[in-house]
Structure 1
Amino acid sequence: MKNTYKKIFLAIYFSSALTLSSCEKWLLSPSPGVTKLEDFFTSAETAVQSINAAYMPLAWEYNSTFFSEWFIGDVVSDDALKGGQGITDMAAAYDMENFKTQANNELLLNFYRAQYQGIARCNLVLDQVPKMGTDETLIQKLKDRIAGEAKFLRALYYYRLVRVFGGVPKVDFVIESANQWIQPVATTDAIYGLIIEDLKDAEGKLWKKSEYDDKDLGRATKGAAQAMLLKVYLTRHDYPQAEIWGKKIVDQAENEGEYNLVNNYADNFTLLGENGSESIFEIQYMDDPMSDYGQGFGFTRGTFTVMLTRSRMSTLGGGWGFNKPTQNLYNEYEAGDPRREVTILDQPGATANEIYLGNTYISKKYAMMEDGPGNTILTLSHATRGPINIKTIRYADVLLMYAEACVENNNTTQAKWALEEVRSRARGGNNAILPAFPNYLGYIDTKGDLRKAIRHERRVELAMEGHRWFDLTRWGVAKEVMDAYKASETEEVRAHIANFIGGKHETFPLPEEEVKLGELN
């Protein structure tokens, strides 16, 4: 939906030390016992703590409702149905998957606010850390890296916002007073300009993955910035720049060994596979026995995704059954493709509470993977919290984005190479399945069919990892694909899906509550 609002309120709060009031005189008066920012940012430890805090909103999935990004990336697309205990369970997600979203959607409000919390924390780091003096612990290389991490994270938060909402407020400074709360909605071009500027700056400051100590794995790296630049330039349809940045990370992998595809595809979705050789950037979670019901943003450090997507059957973890793979996705896999069995659990004998609009499939990735020999699924120390990280960028994703950029630039040789790298790993030495392009699915050796093959491969390689909806909108085929998907669904499912309106449903309305707050003086 195109933005029609000129100003919007920003729900950004830094810490309990910076409390804003409607009393302007009180705001301007020094408060006894309050630590000034410059008194806090005095050591390497506080600089590192501050950038650590800037990562945390990426991990948030719950405030007044659940708002994991896959509710958008999977459920809105043709890859998944909402699932859960009937159509009224997570009504906000039901509206989004069926193109009935209103501006009062609670899921989108919480998603929006979490990203701006992250942006605010990044802005604070970028405002304060460069002012700090160097010493034997806060050396210049560390200062630069921290700034690079903040730039990368701010770009990522804004990317998550702009591809969901379109234009949003552009805030690249610390909000210090009430008269800065109301900010205009910037154009999508302005937001992407900031994202690209931040990522280029970050790429020059960040360290390679191999330069980090084990305790720091999970931090943003040079390769992560390059991968994001590849992704952003693809989104902007600047294919020459996308190919350049894609080649940089492919060269890191091929010539320096920074990344490679793990031998076993399924290992990407296990605890043992966290921060491994295929991981370029992943959201870090940990085992946490605490509950955050009624607490809001960031009260625990575990993930809800495991329990949200796990089968509702007690013998399979007793989860909540959201994000159910569609028959359409199941049918997309070629005969014998082992990735389907890693991704989708078929339950032909499912009980009534497992069935959503006739669908019995369950998403296996992360939620239903084996946790070492002898275990069928990951054992949780808390009834609703999982410790497993979520990979937002892995090397297979980069190879397929690079292939996409190359084919659009008529570099079909490199496009075929990158595509075959992914398919070769998937076939696992079984040459009877997944032949090289163009010898499958009726393709012929043309640019058009190579493009189709790359898009097919992205769907099956990255299925149920939150990419599909954003791929469809980037390719400009959301209406075409979603209309075809609707026609392929059962009558029971079709009865719930509204007609897709091109030029409107590719993005979502800005949260009404934020807009109304912005109208207050």
Structure 2
Amino acid sequence: MKRYMILPLLCLAAATLTACNDWLREDAPGTTKLSDFFTGGETCRQAVVASYVPLMWEYNGTYFSEWFIGDVMSDDALKGGENTGDMANAYDLENFKTITTNDLLLQYYRAQYQGISRCNLAIQNIPAVLPDDTMDERLKERYLGEVYFLRAYYYFRLVRAFGDVPMPMVPLTSSNEWRQPRSPKSVIYGQILSDLKNAEAMLWKKSESPAEETGIATKGAAQAMLMKVNLYLKDYDEAHKWGTALMQQADEEGEYTLCNNYNDNFTLEGENGPESIFEIQYMEDPTSDFGEGYGFTRGTFTPILIRSRSSKLGAGWGFNKPTQNLYDEFEAGDPRRDWTIINPSDEQIETPEQEIYLGCRYLNRKYALMTSDDNSTWYQLTHQSRGPINNKQIRFADALLMYAEACLGSGLDLDKGKKALNRVRSRVGLGEADLNENSLRHERRVELAMEGHRWFDLCRWGIAKQTMDAYKATETPEARAEMSEFVEGKHELLPIPAEEVRLGNLTQNPGY
């Protein structure tokens, strides 16, 4: 990725001069203008690549992986760590004690706007670039499709977590433009849908993407997101329309299918496989991030964050611990339970006071990079805090369940919706289920457990309060003692970070 900077014009005046001449007003040597940068296809490619990068970010003074929201705030996971004081920001999220100065939320919020800023820059400048020997018109269109998709994705992450947020649509080049008001979430969702429709029309199919560009946004990814966003808006007819388009790509054109083995989704060998619709790309990186912040590493922190604190089970930091409530949700004989949750033996737990968190001993297995079924062999990380495994944001099983939900909600193609639901179940050897609200919600929970979906599903279904209250009653006395009461109408959204409220003169979400 090429980094560049727009430097101010310099007016150099000697003591003997009374005014600046024309030659003194010329750009100083080394000044780079945007018009100098966006000169050809290669620089367009660099701008697009840079737009993906903030998706990878998980650290800037504190860790802010999205699963701290999607898993830990839900009934699927407890924070974990050495004790309740380990990562106080995550403890507050877990227990609905979040305050506006939570640094985890500040860093997550800012990372999304870094991505949006890069997308805005690319969207503004790529159209004027003429094709050359590195970019024809079709590739230029795909580049624009990618950044439209990414801008929609960043705004989607923001709006579902924070509600109304500022929505700059062009690069902000003046301090006079920095204070942007919060846009209503209905307006933001409208823009997300517009960007995704642009992307869907411009992007290539997964099979058309060159091997060296595996992992870029595709037409199928845009269709999946159009289905997902419309489910959030409860526009089931539109969700069904886009789901049907995606299913056609999968079933008639062979673009997507389920992996034969469920667990292949969470191995290095399974990256960008037949089930992958969109995933965040990570790679081996032996460098250290500490003190460096955003974008310093190309590896993911998730494996070390979620591995056991025991050296016998990966020697990690023990965060994002599956709950007993989640463990009990799996049906008898469902193999996904043991590919999601590790239940360590007493012999494997070296320091119970650090490894058993508020009565919970379970470990998250999916992205821990374990390489054996008996929990004895772990992938050796190149750097102690860095892992190469990609994070699957959308996989075909998720799309099948969204399609089933769209069919049920719209009343269209109910037989196809039922087949989609049971296709996910049959992959793991489970019997047929009827298509109804309960079966769908159960299946999404167990199929996608510990992948960061659960909290957002509860909120979009409007059942966060009743679910979290019921879950609380099932927890250990130690865990219940830490939990605050869930306040309906407040806790479904997170607070706008106080520093952003101050800098932007923004309003705050109700109750914070």
Measure the CA separation in 1 of the matches of 2:368 and 2:375. Answer: 17
1:367 aligns with 2:368: yes
Deviates more, 1:152-161 or 1:403-412: 403-412
- Per the TM alignment, residue 375 of structure 1 is displaced from its structure 2 partner at its CA by 7.8
| Mapping of residues 419-430 of structure 1, within 5 Å | 419-427=421-429
Aligned to 1:10: none
Q: Report the CA distance shift for 1:301/1:371 in structure 2 as closer, same or farther (over 3 A).
A: farther
Aligned to 2:386: 385
Aligned residue type for 1:370: T
Aligned to 1:62: 59
Gaps of 5+ in 1: 1-13, 22-28, 428-433, 439-446
1:474 aligns with 2:460: yes
Measure the CA separation in 2 of the matches of 1:308 and 1:454. Answer: 30
Secondary structure of the equivalent of 1:339? coil
Q: State which of 164, 167, 174 in structure 2 corresponds to 1:167.
A: 164
Instruction: Give the count of matched residue pairs.
Output: 485
Deviates more, 1:109-118 or 1:39-48: 39-48
Measure the CA separation in 1 of the matches of 2:230 and 2:488. Answer: 23
- Per the TM alignment, residue 518 of structure 1 is displaced from its structure 2 partner at its CA by 2.0
Q: Report the CA distance shift for 1:111/1:262 in structure 2 as closer, same or farther (over 3 A).
A: same
- Per the TM alignment, residue 137 of structure 1 is displaced from its structure 2 partner at its CA by 2.2
Secondary structure of the equivalent of 1:81? strand
Q: State which of 495, 500, 509 in structure 2 corresponds to 1:509.
A: 495
Aligned residue type for 1:501: V
Secondary structure of the equivalent of 1:86? coil
Measure the CA separation in 2 of the matches of 1:246 and 1:518. Answer: 38
Measure the CA separation in 1 of the matches of 2:35 and 2:4. Answer: 16
| Mapping of residues 389-400 of structure 1, within 5 Å | 389-400=390-401
Q: State which of 244, 255, 260 in structure 1 corresponds to 2:257.
A: 260
- Per the TM alignment, residue 348 of structure 1 is displaced from its structure 2 partner at its CA by 3.8
Measure the CA separation in 1 of the matches of 2:485 and 2:27. Answer: 56
Aligned to 1:491: 477
- Contact 1:371 1:378 (C-alpha < 8 Å) held by counterparts: no
| Mapping of residues 267-278 of structure 1, within 5 Å | 267-278=264-275
Q: State which of 449, 456, 461 in structure 2 corresponds to 1:463.
A: 449
- Per the TM alignment, residue 337 of structure 1 is displaced from its structure 2 partner at its CA by 0.3
Secondary structure of the equivalent of 2:321? strand
- Contact 2:101 2:499 (C-alpha < 8 Å) held by counterparts: yes
- Per the TM alignment, residue 368 of structure 1 is displaced from its structure 2 partner at its CA by 3.8
Secondary structure of the equivalent of 2:338? helix
Q: Report the CA distance shift for 1:158/1:30 in structure 2 as closer, same or farther (over 3 A).
A: farther
- Per the TM alignment, residue 347 of structure 1 is displaced from its structure 2 partner at its CA by 1.5
Aligned to 1:435: 431
Aligned to 1:347: 344
Deviates more, 1:375-384 or 1:361-370: 375-384
Aligned residue type for 1:500: F
1:119 aligns with 2:116: yes
List, as ranges, runs of 4+ consecutive aligned residues in structure 1 with deviation greater than 6 Å.
371-375
Aligned residue type for 2:298: R
Aligned to 2:5: 17
- Contact 1:270 1:371 (C-alpha < 8 Å) held by counterparts: no
Aligned to 1:451: 437
Secondary structure of the equivalent of 2:337? helix
Aligned residue type for 1:173: V
Secondary structure of the equivalent of 1:220? coil
Q: Report the CA distance shift for 1:38/1:95 in structure 2 as closer, same or farther (over 3 A).
A: same
- Per the TM alignment, residue 16 of structure 1 is displaced from its structure 2 partner at its CA by 5.4
- Per the TM alignment, residue 38 of structure 1 is displaced from its structure 2 partner at its CA by 0.9
- Per the TM alignment, residue 331 of structure 1 is displaced from its structure 2 partner at its CA by 0.1
Larger Rg: 2
- Per the TM alignment, residue 15 of structure 1 is displaced from its structure 2 partner at its CA by 5.8
- Contact 2:56 2:281 (C-alpha < 8 Å) held by counterparts: yes
Q: Report the CA distance shift for 1:309/1:94 in structure 2 as closer, same or farther (over 3 A).
A: same
Measure the CA separation in 1 of the matches of 2:369 and 2:361. Answer: 15
- Contact 1:271 1:371 (C-alpha < 8 Å) held by counterparts: no
- Contact 2:181 2:504 (C-alpha < 8 Å) held by counterparts: no
- Per the TM alignment, residue 265 of structure 1 is displaced from its structure 2 partner at its CA by 0.2
Measure the CA separation in 1 of the matches of 2:41 and 2:363. Answer: 46
- Contact 1:309 1:323 (C-alpha < 8 Å) held by counterparts: yes
1:215 aligns with 2:212: yes
Secondary structure of the equivalent of 2:165? coil
- Per the TM alignment, residue 95 of structure 1 is displaced from its structure 2 partner at its CA by 0.4
Q: Percent identity?
A: 58
Aligned to 2:289: 292
Q: State which of 178, 193, 196 in structure 2 corresponds to 1:196.
A: 193
- Per the TM alignment, residue 107 of structure 1 is displaced from its structure 2 partner at its CA by 0.4
Aligned residue type for 1:392: Q
Deviations 1:26-47 (A, max 9, x none): xxx7651211111111121111
Measure the CA separation in 2 of the matches of 1:87 and 1:248. Answer: 46
Q: Report the CA distance shift for 1:19/1:190 in structure 2 as closer, same or farther (over 3 A).
A: farther
Q: State which of 82, 102, 122 in structure 1 corresponds to 2:99.
A: 102
- Contact 2:7 2:32 (C-alpha < 8 Å) held by counterparts: no
Aligned residue type for 1:409: S
Q: Report the CA distance shift for 1:174/1:265 in structure 2 as closer, same or farther (over 3 A).
A: same
- Contact 2:41 2:129 (C-alpha < 8 Å) held by counterparts: no
1:146 aligns with 2:148: no
Q: Report the CA distance shift for 1:113/1:394 in structure 2 as closer, same or farther (over 3 A).
A: same
Deviates more, 1:263-272 or 1:131-140: 131-140
RMSD, matched Cα: 1.9
Aligned residue type for 1:174: P
Aligned residue type for 2:494: F
Measure the CA separation in 2 of the matches of 1:252 and 1:518. Answer: 44
- Per the TM alignment, residue 372 of structure 1 is displaced from its structure 2 partner at its CA by 11
Measure the CA separation in 2 of the matches of 1:363 and 1:373. Answer: 14
Measure the CA separation in 2 of the matches of 1:337 and 1:31. Answer: 67
Gaps of 5+ in 2: 10-24, 507-512
Q: Report the CA distance shift for 1:19/1:348 in structure 2 as closer, same or farther (over 3 A).
A: farther
Measure the CA separation in 2 of the matches of 1:383 and 1:20. Answer: 42
Secondary structure of the equivalent of 1:256? coil
Q: Report the CA distance shift for 1:30/1:267 in structure 2 as closer, same or farther (over 3 A).
A: farther
Aligned to 1:71: 68
Deviations 1:231-290 (A, max 9, x none): 000000000000110111111000000000000000000000000000000000000000
Aligned residue type for 2:431: P
- Contact 1:227 1:245 (C-alpha < 8 Å) held by counterparts: yes
Measure the CA separation in 2 of the matches of 1:227 and 1:454. Answer: 17
Measure the CA separation in 1 of the matches of 2:478 and 2:327. Answer: 18
